[in-house]
């Protein structure tokens, strides 16, 4: 059976609702998954009328009521305050995004849905209303009760896990063996369960120029990163490195490796966005359910103008469906 994927509305004042209705106007998505939206029904209906007028809207109260028909925007209404006249910065927007995400997480944990695809939130505004995490990734991991989790970016033929996520470069540079090893393990498990590769070769990036030149430009490679790689190898994981980052991603793209572990945010995001800007997907590793997301933010500057590109949302939905299918096959095989 096709995977049932809940799409969370995200910040209603951002481009999330627009890219959702544009993406779901593509009838081919319904050939691979069963998507529906969790959000403010009135807001989604207004957005569809503006940017996808061929869509008709249908309200549901639970996933089992959805018919998953192409051309029909099915919305599980979160209710809440009237949103007329709302602009970005309004706390009602962040509250609606928080509610949609909470509903989706509860459904995923109960097994009502196979996965979640999230539209963007505004982290600073979410914090102002008491959102208890730096972002989606950390919130979902906390709600799911998992201690080991991570972010993988997928796009342009690359799969790159971030050993550290939302840290300053100064903090991220204090890389530790356990952090690197955790990222390798998460990548190994994901490549098997989510991507169907039983023996994926995982490359690990170096931190310093030229891989540190045997300590000349820093000793983190010798002191923290290489020991993590050796430990992973002792566990039967096909990991190698550390490799200088200036050449690693070229070889990853050429197929020498199946996935990579980057040590900090921009080390991973630069090659991904160079090759797949607008079509990359953010994946949360370590959860008991599938979660994918767009690779962009709320884009307030273009929200409501009909300029937002739905490519990343479509890619995130397709990847969520593929990952859910791999997980189901693995359960059957085991």
Lay out the sheet containing 56-60: strands in order across.
56-60, 72-77, 33-39, 3-8, 115-118, 290-294, 281-285, 150-155, 158-162, 259-262, 202-205, 239-243
Contact assessment for residue 326 and residue 195, using Cβ atoms and an 8 Å cutoff: yes
Contact between 314 and 24 (Cβ < 8 Å) = no
Structure tokens at 215: 């300590």
Kindly give the confidence (pLDDT) of every residue in the chain, 334 residues in length, as a single tens digit, with 9 standing for 90 and above.
899 999 999 999 999 999 999 999 999 999 999 999 999 999 999 999 999 999 999 999 999 999 999 999 999 999 876 777 677 888 899 999 999 999 999 999 999 999 999 999 999 999 999 999 888 999 999 999 999 999 999 999 999 999 998 888 899 989 999 999 999 999 999 999 999 998 999 999 999 998 877 777 889 999 999 999 999 999 999 999 999 999 999 999 999 999 999 999 999 999 999 999 989 999 999 999 999 999 999 999 999 999 999 999 999 999 999 999 999 876 655 5
Domains for the chain: give ranges and CATH numbers: 1-146+289-334 (3.40.718.10), 148-286 (3.40.718.10)
153 phi/psi in degrees, rounded to 5: -100, 135
Its pTM stands at 0.93
Could you tell me which of 142, 163, 139, 167 has the C-alpha nearest to residue 153? 163
Contact between 294 and 120 under an 8 Å Cβ cutoff? The reply is yes
Dihedral sign, Cα of residue 67, residue 68, residue 72, residue 76: positive
**What letter does residue 64 receive in the DSSP assignment?**
G
């Amino acid at each position: 059976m096709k995977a049932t994927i809940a799409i969370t509305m995200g910040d209603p004042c951002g481009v999330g609702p627009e890219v959702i209705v544009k993406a779901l106007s593509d009838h081919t998505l319904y050939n691979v998954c069963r998507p529906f939206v969790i959000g403010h029904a009135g807001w989604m209906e207004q957005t569809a009328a503006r940017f996808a007028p061929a869509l008709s809207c249908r309200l549901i109260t639970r996933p089992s009521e959805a018919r998953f028909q192409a051309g029909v925007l099915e919305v599980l209404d979160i209710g809440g305050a009237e949103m007329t006249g709302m602009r970005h910065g309004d706390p009602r927007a962040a509250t609606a995004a928080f509610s949609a995400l909470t509903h989706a997480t509860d459904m995923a944990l109960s097994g009502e849905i196979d996965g979640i695809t999230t539209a963007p939130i505004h982290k600073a505004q979410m914090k102002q209303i008491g959102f208890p995490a730096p972002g989606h990734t950390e919130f979902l991991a906390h709600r799911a009760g998992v201690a080991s989790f991570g972010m993988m970016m997928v796009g342009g033929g690359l799969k790159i896990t971030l050993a550290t996520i939302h840290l300053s470069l100064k903090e991220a540079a204090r890389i530790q063996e356990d952090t690197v090893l955790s990222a390798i393990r998460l990548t190994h498990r994901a490549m098997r369960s989510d991507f169907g590769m039983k023996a994926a070769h995982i490359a690990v990036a170096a931190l310093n120029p030229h891989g540190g030149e045997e300590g000349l430009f820093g000793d983190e490679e010798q002191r923290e990163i290489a020991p993590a790689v050796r430990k992973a190898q002792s566990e039967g994981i096909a990991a190698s490195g550390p490799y200088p980052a200036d050449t690693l991603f070229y070889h990853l793209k050429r197929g020498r490796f199946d996935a990579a572990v980057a040590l900090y945010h921009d080390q991973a995001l630069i090659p991904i966005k160079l090759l797949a800007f607008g079509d990359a997907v953010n994946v949360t590793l370590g959860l008991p359910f599938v979660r994918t997301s767009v690779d962009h933010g709320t884009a307030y500057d273009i929200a409501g103008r009909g300029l937002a590109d739905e490519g990343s949302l479509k890619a995130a939905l397709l990847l969520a469906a593929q990952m859910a299918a791999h997980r189901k096959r693995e359960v059957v095989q085991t």
